[in-house]
A and B are shown apart, each in its own frame.
Chain A
């Protein structure tokens, strides 16, 4: 996701980021290089070196820091970002299980009612176009119980 605009809001002590159609906040307290009353932000810009997937800010002292869009999405608990993270974790678990299982790949494919290409697509951790539902089916075939815990967010 590309950042379209970023500005520092000193009153709110946060950056305000526009990425896609989303407006997201990122507080100064989360920064590795923090501004202070004596060392304020003088410049902030969308970083082209990061393919516009991050921004860089410069303080009066000349110190600078960079924030990647994924830090912002994580802080804001972005649903799409969290979904991708869940898919990634499920995929790693499936990879571990498939190496440990005594089931032949052909049998796994048969039980899933799918094709070899589809199985390899499911096992590719860089593929985010598959669904959580498909991963759950695969893990079920691999003799796993997957439990989801739903709880209120902590403050």
Chain B
């Protein structure tokens, strides 16, 4: 996940953990929504 050309987090979908960077609660919620919509 990038913001303005900067890596915010590399997310491990299988283990639900950040592989690089940090996932704020807002980002976690966004990931959860994308997963629920089947987009990830």
Contacts and interface: CB of A to CB of B under 8 A. Distances in A.
Interface in B1-40: 2, 5-7, 10, 12, 15, 17-22
Contacts of B10: 70
User: Chain B at the A interface: mostly helix, strand, loop or mixed?
Assistant: strand
User: Chain A at the B interface: mostly helix, strand, loop or mixed?
Assistant: helix
B17 A51 contact: no
Interface in A99-126: 125-126
Contact of B19 (A50, A53, A126): A126
Interface string A27-59: 000000000000000000000111111000000
Nearest to B4: A49
Indicate the size class of the contact surface on chain A.
10 to 19
Interface of B: 2, 5-7, 10, 12, 15, 17-22
Interface of A: 48-53, 70, 88, 92, 125-126
